[in-house]
Amino acid sequence: MTTPTLLIVDDEKTTREGLRAALEDKFDVYVAEDAQSAWQLLEKEPFAVLLTDLRMAGEDGLKLIKRAKSLQKPPVCILMTAYGSEDVAVQAMKEGADDYISKGKLQIDELELRIRRALQRQNLETENQQLHQRLEKKFGVENIIGDAPAMKEVFETIQAVAPTKATVLITGESGTGKELVAKAIHQNSPRARGPMVTVNCAALPATLLESELFGAERGAYTGAHERRIGRIEQAQGGTLFLDEIGEIDATTQVKLLRFLGERTFERLGSSKTLSADVRLVTATNKDLMALVKEGKFREDLYYRLAVVPIHLPPLRERALDIPALATAFLKEFAEDNGKPVQSLSTEAMELLLKYHWPGNVRELRAAIEHAVVLCRGGQITGRDLPPAVRTPQSVYTEQATREQLSTGRLSMKDAAKQLLIHALQETNGNRTLAAKKLNISRRTLHRRLHEFGLEEF
């Protein structure tokens, strides 16, 4: 590592030179006697650290710090003052100073330590920012794959809602990409620099969930040994993503409702009212409206959460997207595993298109990973796919279809398709017999085969 550059600004020669002598071994030291000459140096090249006196003839240390912090590569700024008072410290922090030290008690060891600490913090921040930029790429809307009309609508809604503070409710079966959408909303919002805090509401028992969200004072409940900052507070300035929101109990529902209305809350065991600037995004794979009707979910909360609803259709209803998704996953896993796999055979693609994907995109992703790992050449064949995908017949039993339909897990259209496939399998592809089995005319059968792209069956 190179020696960090340090600029010392002080109008008193003895202090200036004293500090230079003391710090010269550790840093690459420059000195200036006032803000103006300091500024000339700062403008020329980036400094790692600026250590400046407060009171100087001309511009004071606070103003210099403020200006230095506006540089493209701002230095770590430490203010020294002989007039140590809380007020100046607060002001200094407001102007962007990283630390504050009183000259009266100045010890070189301590000064060096403080400089090092401030430098370390800044490095961490830069790293965080870089990480953030990388994540931004990873979770931008461009990473949500899909051309199906239903997905276009999803993209449009994300783009429209991201810049606002509106509460979003994301619904869809397991594995349809709800978390991905939540991240894209955060990343495309003005809060992207702030935190995104995720809580899985199903993962915690009711009492713990409450303190997890709102925080708790020491002794608020048995086992609360120390103060706990809630997730809402942690999400200050950012986004709070509550996954599986259908699982929250009645008490937490009331508290959340209040938070959404007034933006205020209390930690458990405290009467002090706190507020937080947080954008709420929630998700569920349950039918929340049905829970409302059953009296398990508050209707008023439902409407507060679903200010902007986004529904992710199951993968089987957007089979159009399967090729693009499969290809993207193939590329990803081929790279990850260092395998020269480049494409999918027609047979493999057909199997993917025919399968009904109960686990949605997550299952497709896992299937492609499986196939890439097993694949021996440059092309994935039907044999490389997981057994469930290879032999979809098992899931197309009439019984299973009716069950899925009755529990609302299957749309009418998909059920019709599955029954059709089932009938064709049973009759070995005999159109006349299949039509008879389904109690429809041959003509209707042909129309449906065409509709579902099953002519080749």
Ligand X SMILES: Nc1ncnc2c1ncn2[C@@H]1O[C@H](COP(=O)(O)OP(=O)(O)OP(=O)(O)O)[C@@H](O)[C@H]1O
Give yes or no for residue 114 binding ligand X (CB under 6 A): no
Interacting partner of 180 out of ligand X, Mg ion, none (Cβ under 5 to 8 A depending on kind)? ligand X
Nearest distance, CB of residue 270 and Mg ion, angstroms: 32
The neighbouring-strand residues paired with 386 are none
The HSE-up count of residue 8 (CA atoms within 13 Å, CB side) is: 23
Q: Segment contacting Mg ion (CB under 5 A): 26-34, 178-186, 329-337, 360-368?
A: 178-186
Interacting partner of 388 out of Mg ion, ligand X, none (Cβ under 5 to 8 A depending on kind)? none
Structure tokens given for 248: 């929250």
Nearest distance, CB of residue 359 and ligand X, angstroms: 8
Nearest distance, CB of residue 178 and Mg ion, angstroms: 5
Give yes or no for residue 244 binding Mg ion (CB under 5 A): no
Nearest distance, CB of residue 132 and Mg ion, angstroms: 22
Out of 191, 365, 417, 422, the only residue in the binding site for ligand X (CB under 6 A) is 365
Please, which residue, 291 or 361, has the CB nearer to ligand X? 361
Nearest distance, CB of residue 161 and ligand X, angstroms: 17
Closest by Cα among 180, 183, 413 to 319: 413
Give yes or no for residue 145 binding ligand X (CB under 6 A): yes
Give yes or no for residue 285 binding ligand X (CB under 6 A): yes
Nearest distance, CB of residue 172 and ligand X, angstroms: 6
Interacting partner of 106 out of Mg ion, ligand X, none (Cβ under 5 to 8 A depending on kind)? none
Q: How far apart are CA 260 and CA 282, in angstroms?
A: 12
Taking CB positions, which residue lies at the least distance from ligand X? Answer: 177
Interacting partner of 148 out of ligand X, Mg ion, none (Cβ under 5 to 8 A depending on kind)? none
Please, which residue, 55 or 286, has the CB nearer to Mg ion? 286
Out of 49, 361, 368, 375, the only residue in the binding site for ligand X (CB under 6 A) is 361
Nearest distance, CB of residue 304 and ligand X, angstroms: 21
Please, which residue, 177 or 230, has the CB nearer to ligand X? 177
Out of 112, 179, 347, 369, the only residue in the binding site for Mg ion (CB under 5 A) is 179
Please, which residue, 75 or 175, has the CB nearer to ligand X? 175
Nearest distance, CB of residue 140 and ligand X, angstroms: 12
Give yes or no for residue 146 binding ligand X (CB under 6 A): yes
Please, which residue, 211 or 285, has the CB nearer to ligand X? 285
The neighbouring-strand residues paired with 172 are 312
| Secondary structure of the chain in HEC code, one letter for each residue | CCCCEEEEECCCHHHHHHHHHHHCCCCEEEEECCHHHHHHHHHHCCCCEEEEECCCCCCCHHHHHHHHCCCCCCCEEEEEECCCCHHHHHHHHHCCCCEEEEHHHCCHHHHHHHHHHHHHHHHHHHHHHHHHHHHHHHHCHHHCCCCCHHHHHHHHHHHHHCCCCCCEEEEECCCCCHHHHHHHHHHCCCCCCCCEEEEECCCCCHHHHHHHHHCECCCCCCCCCCCECCHHHHCCCCEEEEECHHHCCHHHHHHHHHHHHHCEEECECCCCEEECCCEEEEEECCCHHHHHHCCCCCHHHHHHHCCEEEEECCHHHHHHHHHHHHHHHHHHHHHHCCCCCCEECHHHHHHHHHCCCCCHHHHHHHHHHHHHHHCCCCEECHHHCCHHHHCHHHHHCHHHHHHHHHCCCCCHHHHHHHHHHHHHHHCCCCHHHHHHHHCCCHHHHHHHHHHCCCCCC
- Looking at residues 207 to 246 of the shown chain, list those that interact with ligand X (rule: CB under 6 A): none
- Looking at residues 158 to 217 of the shown chain, list those that interact with ligand X (rule: CB under 6 A): 172, 174-180
Please, which residue, 200 or 427, has the CB nearer to Mg ion? 200
Out of 55, 69, 286, 362, the only residue in the binding site for ligand X (CB under 6 A) is 362
Give the residues lining the site for ligand X (CB under 6 A).
144-146, 172, 174-180, 285, 325, 361-362, 365
Give the residues lining the site for Mg ion (CB under 5 A).
179
